Amino acid sequence: MLLGFVLLFGYIVFCWLVFFKFKWLQFNISWGIVSAFVGLHLLIIFLIGLRFVAPYATEARMVQHTIQLIPRLNHPTLVTDVLVEPNTRVKKGQPLFQFDRTLYQYQVEQLEAQLVAAQQNVKVLHNDIQISADKIVKLQSELEYAKYQKKLSEQLAEQGAGPVEEAQKWTAQVAAYQAAIKEAQAEEERSRLLYTSEINGTNTTVAQVEAELKQARFYLDNTLMVAPEDGYIMNLQVRPGMVAGIVRVGAIASLIVDEGRYLLAQFFQENLKYVKPGQEVEIALDLYPGQIFTGKVDAIWQGTGAGQYLPSGNLPQFSYVPTEMPQGQFAVVIVLDDEDQSKFPIGTQGRASIYTNPDSGFVWMRKIGIRGYSWFNWLYPFSG
């Protein structure tokens, strides 16, 4: 910067000596235009210095994380109570809205009864296996007796000492007992499969009812909506008597989160050549005319929407962009040093200047400029 002032001062002295002190040349309109043209080009030194040593963002605004409060219920549910006022601060876990619990309570009680029945049914299946096994033993004994009677009746019929019909009757009885044994064995296998069907050591029927019960309890717990983070409520759209819970995109309020707020400033991409995280920043917010806040560069967003192409079968088309159009800008995340972050509400606008070399003389020029902007906000809002 000092070199720029020396060159500018030397050029002014040179023009004074040539045209006014020694009058080596006659000063006229032509020489005046040439002298001014050369002098203006010397001012480019200050323009370059300000752009790279103290980049300046004319568009900066406070950003905070916003959580859309949407009921997580699987049925349209009546809102019975609103436990919070709009534009008020809330703590994490603080109750916000109460929904009608009746339907969800009934579902929980129904599934609790089904769970007890399923657990008892497992014991019944165990007993069914033993009953089927005993039944098979009994039928096998009866089958052996029927086979004996069949053989005896056939021998008597051959000797003419007994009717043929008796032998036929025991033959049919043997076939009936054989079929009954197969049926009992199938019943035993079915009971055994149902009894031994497990997942992670739990009968599958019991596990299914337990999962349904957990889901029902989840929805029952969500009939009371609580604050997921510390913050404050805005855009409160719900009143007692309203039915909500079935439309997932229908938020009933917004929670502005306290933690993680930052200033997002837009800089022309070429001005960010020497910008790095941790560098000092000064901010003038329109909300506080005449005040300057300090901060640090937290991050530079690595990209803009101009470089994004959506997947499609169409080839990219490139069009000419006039030089007078604004160039692409990149966003820089700035964290303010002030301990009381609550004084910077979401959407607050202002301007910011980054000092890549705090020892440079160009920094003082930028500090004068940003303070002038802040003081002029008493008279006229300069932000767009």
Q: pLDDT tens for residues 44-91? A: 655 676 788 889 998 999 999 999 888 888 888 899 999 999 888 999
pLDDT band at 309 (very low <50, low <70, confident <90, very high): confident
Using CB atoms within 10 A of its CB, is residue 369 exposed (0-12), middle (13-18) or buried (19+)? middle
Examine the pLDDT at 334 and tell me if it is beyond 90: yes
The CA angle 110-112-114, to the nearest 5 degrees, is: 70
Q: How many domains does the chain divide into?
A: 4
Query: CA-CA distance, 30 to 41, in Å (whole number)?
Result: 17
- Cβ(39)–Cβ(11) below 8 Å: yes
In this structure, how many other beta carbons lie within 10 angstroms of the beta carbon of residue 177?
Answer: 20
CATH number, domain of 276, equals 2.40.30.170
Q: How confident is the model at residue 36 (pLDDT cuts 50, 70, 90)?
A: low
Q: What share of residues in the chain are helix, strand, coil (percent, to 5)?
A: 45, 20, 35
Cα 382 to the chain's mean position, in Å? 35
Whether residue 2 is predicted with pLDDT greater than 50 in this model: the reply is no
Token pair in block for residue 121: 């049914």
State what percent of residues in the chain have pLDDT above 90: 30
Residues 73 and 154 in one domain: no
Mean pLDDT (whole number) for 19-40: 57
Domain check: are 115 and 126 in the same one?
Answer: yes
Mark whether 96 and 230 lie in a shared domain.
yes
Which of 232, 257, 282 is the endpoint of a domain? 257
pLDDT for residue 336 is more than 90: yes
| pLDDT range class, residue 22, cuts 50, 70, 90 | low
Residues 60 and 72 in one domain: no
Q: Please provide residue 48's backbone torsions phi and psi, each rounded to the nearest 5 degrees.
A: -65, -45
CA atoms in the 13 A half-sphere facing the CB of 320: 3
Q: What is the 3-state secondary structure (H, E, C) of 64-92?
A: CCEEEECCCCCCCEEEEEECCCCCCEECC
Angle subtended at Cα 335 by Cα 251 and Cα 375, rounded to the nearest 5 degrees: 100
pLDDT range class, residue 362, cuts 50, 70, 90: confident
pLDDT of residue 161: 62
C-alpha angle with apex 370: 369 to 371, nearest 5 degrees? 90
User: What is the β-pairing status of strands 280-285 and 293-300?
Assistant: antiparallel
Average pLDDT over residues 241-258: 78
Q: Which amino acid is at 111?
A: L
Considering 212, 237, 269, which residue would you say is the last residue of a domain?
A: 212
Q: How far apart are CA 291 and CA 287, in angstroms?
A: 9
Q: Does residue 118 fall inside a structural domain?
A: yes
344 and 370 inside one domain:
yes
In a domain, 10, yes or no: yes
Whether the pLDDT of residue 12 is over 60: the answer is no
Q: What are phi and psi of 88, to 5 degrees?
A: -125, 155
Q: Are residues 37 and 128 in the same domain?
A: no
What is the C-alpha separation between 317 and 313, in angstroms, rounded?
12
Question: What CA–CA distance (Å, rounded) separates 350 from 303?
Answer: 23
Dihedral angle sign, alpha carbons of residues 380, 43, 352, 268: positive
Q: Are residues 89 and 129 in the same domain?
A: no
Q: Which residues pair with 232 in a beta bridge?
A: 89, 256
Q: How many CB atoms lie within 10 A of CB 117?
A: 13
**Predicted pLDDT at 160:** 66
Distance CA 195, CA 191 (A): 6
Q: What is the pTM of this model?
A: 0.66
Please tell me whether residues 229 and 140 are part of one structural domain.
no
47 belongs to a structural domain = no
Residues 94 and 227 in one domain: yes
Asked if residue 359 is part of any domain, the answer here is yes
Residue carrying structure tokens 């008020």: 88
Which residues, listed in sequence order, are joined to residue 350 by a DSSP beta bridge?
A: 60, 285
Residues paired with 98 in a beta bridge: 81, 224
Residue that finishes a domain, picked among 212, 245, 269: 212
Residue span of the structural domain in which 31 resides: 1-42
For 232, 359, 369, the CA distances from 245, given in Å and listed in that order, are: 22, 59, 53
Beta bridge partners of 295: 281, 336
In a domain, 48, yes or no: no
Residue 217, in any domain of the structure: no
Q: Is 371 found in the same domain as 338? A: yes
107 and 192 fall within a common domain: yes
**182-194: string of b/e by CB count within 10 Å (b at 16+)?**
eebeebbeebbeb
Does residue 381 sit within a domain?
A: no
| pLDDT for residue 3 | 42
In a domain, 384, yes or no: no
Per-residue model confidence (pLDDT) at position 11: 44
Question: Binning pLDDT at 50, 70 and 90, where does residue 4 land?
Answer: very low
259-293 tens-digit pLDDT: 889 999 999 888 888 899 999 999 999 999 999 99
Quick one: 243 and 339 in the same domain? no
Nearest to 366 by CA among 379, 384, 357, 353: 353
Q: Is the dihedral of CA 235, 240, 245, 246 positive or negative?
A: negative
Q: Which residue has the tokens 């098979």?
A: 136
Give the domain CATH number at 74.
2.40.50.100
